Structure 1
Amino acid sequence: MKMLIFVLGVALMPMFAVAATPVVDARQQNQDARIDQGVASGEVTKREEARLDAQQERIENKEERFESDGVVTKRERARLHRSEDRASRNIARQKHDRQDRD
């Protein structure tokens, strides 16, 4: 009986150790929508869109790397938030610059 409980505990452990980052995921979706809206309205050029999308992809890769060990530490979460903050500023900057649109 003890062995069964131990085996079940070990088997279920990874389910509880999943490193969820729902705030980062929500911000990613929001920022992707802001980029798409900027392209649709003509505020963001195709070149700017490519740069902003690449930045979003780097953040997603960083998030996956942090989650790969099953735990996202406070420090890793803070790094993700700083990256998201930087990306948000870049999106706002690109949407409001006076660059000619394609």
Structure 2
Amino acid sequence: MVLGVLLVLIGSGVAYAQETPLVDARQQNQNARIREGVASGEVTRAEAKKLRAEQRNIRRTEHRAEADGTVTDRERARLQRKQNRASRDISRQKHDRQDRPRAN
């Protein structure tokens, strides 16, 4: 019986996690862009902190949208707008000519 319950929980978790695969893939891409910007010095620590907070906000929005088991078109559009804004913010921070000082 316990095994049955575990299988149901695992199965529902897989369905839950795959409700927004495009959002998840884009989140990974944006997180990689932030890491690359920090590594190259194009993004300062303060900028990275703000960009990561923006990514956390998108993740929270995604979890709330998935909470009832269905992500509506309106919720998808909201997530896309937030991701578009975050993408622009990452680009702006990477190209704002404000570099992190490098260690010698």
TM-score by length of 2: 0.80
Q: For 1:8-37, what per-residue CA distance to the aligned partner results, in whole angstroms no more than 9, with x for missing partners?
A: xxx8xx95x746100000000000000000
1:84 aligns with 2:78: no
Instruction: Point out where structure 2 has 5 or more consecutive residues left out of the alignment.
Output: 1-7
Q: Residues of 1 paired with 2:97 and 2:36: CA distance?
A: 17
1:43 aligns with 2:42: yes
- Map 1:3-14 onto structure 2 (within 5 A): none
CA RMSD across the alignment: 1.7
Q: Residues of 1 paired with 2:84 and 2:99: CA distance?
A: 26
Identity of aligned residues (%): 62
Decide which structure has the larger Cα Rg and report it: 1
Q: Residues of 2 paired with 1:77 and 1:100: CA distance?
A: 34
Residue 82 of structure 1 deviates from its aligned partner by: 0.5
Q: Residues of 1 paired with 2:91 and 2:98: CA distance?
A: 13
The corresponding residue for 1:8 is: none
- Map 1:51-66 onto structure 2 (within 5 A): 51-66=50-65
Give the 4+ runs in structure 1 shifted more than 4 A. Answer: none
1:27 aligns with 2:26: yes
**Would you say how many aligned residue pairs link Structure 1 and Structure 2?**
89
TM-score by length of 1: 0.81
Q: For 1:61-89, what per-residue CA distance to the aligned partner results, in whole angstroms no more than 9, with x for missing partners?
A: 00000100100000000100000000000
